[in-house]
Chain A
Amino acid sequence: MEIRLQQKDGVAIIKVLGELDYSNVEELQFEIQRCKEKVIEIDLQELQFMDSSGSGMLLNQARKLHEQGRILRIVRIPDHIKEGLEIIGFFKVLEVLESKSNSRE
C-alpha cells in the first residue's frame, strides 16, 4: 500500500494506492489521526483491494471524527470495492453519522 498526502482548500486529502488489509491498516489509521483539518478526504481511486479490517477502520475513524465535529469523506471508490461496502451497510452507517451531524447543527 502507498499513501500520498495533500492539502487543498483546508481539506486534508489522503490518496490510498494498492491493497489495504489487516497487515497495513494501522498505517492508514495513523495518517488519518495525524491530520488536524476539519475535513479529511480519503481518495480510493487507485485502491485495488480492501478487506474488512480496512472498512472497519474507516468507519471507526469516521465515528471518532464525527464525535469531534469533524468529517471523514470517502471518495472515488472503485466499483468492485463499493459493492462489498454496500453489502456490509457501510454507506448506511455514514448516512446515520451525517444525519446526526445535521440534527446537531
Chain B
Amino acid sequence: MEVCGSSIPAGKVGGDFFEFITQNEKAVFAAIGDVMGKGFRAAYLMETIRQQMLREMYQLLRPIEVVKRLNRIGGNELRRHGAFVTLFIICCDAETGCMKCVNAGHHPPILLTGGEVKVLKSRGVALGLLDDYVGSGEEEIYLSSGDALVMYTDGLVEACGPGDERYGLERLKKIVSIQQNFSAEKLRNCILADLEKFTFGYSQRDDITLVVVKAL
C-alpha cells in the first residue's frame, strides 16, 4: 500500500491535518481532519486532537472505537472552546486487506475501484458536537491492486477561481477517474495541478488538504 498527502494552508493558520501510522505491522491507519475556525485556537485544538487520536490509534484496532473515545475525551475540550472537528479515519488490515472506515462529519472520500469512481457511504456527526458519537458505523471496503482512495477537506471542493463556480465534487471525481495507473503521489499531484488550473492561482479562504491511499 502507498499513502501520501499534502496540506496547503490558506492565509491564516488553520486546523487541517492528516496522519498515517502503522500498528505492529498488523494495520495501517490513515486519517484526515479539519478543526473549526482559524488562527491560534484552531491550531492548538488541532494539535490536541491529533495527539489524542494517535494515542488511541496505537491502542485500538477498530477506527469506530478511536472515534468514539476521541469524541468522549477530546470532545470535552472542543465543547469548552465551542468548537468541533471533522474527521475521517481508515484502518487497513495488512493480512486480509479489509479497510474499515469511519466518518465524523467529514466529506466522504472518493474510491477509485475497477475503473469506477464511487463516493463512500459512511456518515457521522463531527467530534465535539454531541456527548456521544453518532454515525452510520464502520464501512468496510476491500481494495484490489490499483484501487485508490482519495480523502480531502472541504477547502478542496469549495476552492474558487476567478468566477463564482467552485471546484466541486464532480470535477474531482472526473480527474480521479482518468488517473487509474498512477502512483499515489502522481495521483495527488495531478489533482493539485488540476486545482491550480481551475483556481488560476487565486488565494483561497480555506486550507486544502488531500490524502491518497493506493493499493499496490
For A52, list chain B residues within 8 Å (CB): 34, 36-37, 84, 86, 154
Report A67 CB to chain B, min CB distance, Å.
13
B111 at the interface (CB under 8 A from A): no
B interface, over-half SS: loop
Across the interface, name the chain B residue whose C-beta is closest to A92. B125
Which one of A3-11, A33-41, A53-61 is at the interface?
Answer: A53-61
Total interface residues on B, CB under 8 Å, equals 25
Partner of A56, one of B83, B158, B205: B83
B125–A88 touching, CB < 8 Å: yes
Contact partner of B205 among A51, A57, A87, CB < 8 A? A51
Let me know if B129 and A89 touch, CB within 8 A. Answer: yes
Query: Which residues from B are CB-within-8-Å of A22?
Result: 37-39
Interface contact B134-A89, CB-CB below 8 Å? yes
Q: Which residues of B contact A57 (CB under 8 A)?
A: 82
Q: Within 8 Å of chain A (Cβ to Cβ): is B126?
A: yes
Complex CA gap A53/B38 in Å reads 8
Most buried by B among A84, A87, A88: A88
Q: Which chain B residues border A88 with CB–CB below 8 Å?
A: 84, 86, 105, 125-126, 129
Per-residue CB proximity of B64-100 to A under 8 Å, as 1/0? Answer: 0000000000000000001110100000000000000
Question: Which residues of the partner chain A approach B154 to less than 8 Å between Cβ atoms?
Answer: 52, 84, 87
Is there a chain B Cβ closer than 8 Å to A75's Cβ?
no
Q: Closest residue of chain B to A21, judged by CB?
A: B205
Interface residues of A in 1-54 (CB under 8 A from B): 21-22, 51-53
CB of A93 within 8 A of CB of B34, answer: no
Q: Is the CB of A89 within 8 A of B38?
A: no
Enumerate the 5 nearest inter-chain pairs by beta-carbon distance, A residue then B residue, closest first: A89-B125, A88-B105, A52-B36, A60-B82, A56-B36
What residues of chain A have their CB less than 8 Å away from a CB belonging to chain B?
21-22, 51-53, 55-57, 59-60, 84, 87-89, 92-93, 96
- Where the two chains meet, the residues of B that have a C-beta atom closer than 8 Å to any C-beta of A are 34, 36-39, 82-84, 86, 105-108, 123-126, 129-130, 134-135, 154, 158, 205-206
Can you pick out 14 interface pairs between chain A and chain B where the beta carbons lie within 8 Å of each other? A21-B205, A52-B36, A52-B86, A53-B36, A56-B82, A57-B82, A60-B82, A87-B123, A87-B154, A88-B84, A88-B86, A89-B123, A89-B135, A92-B125
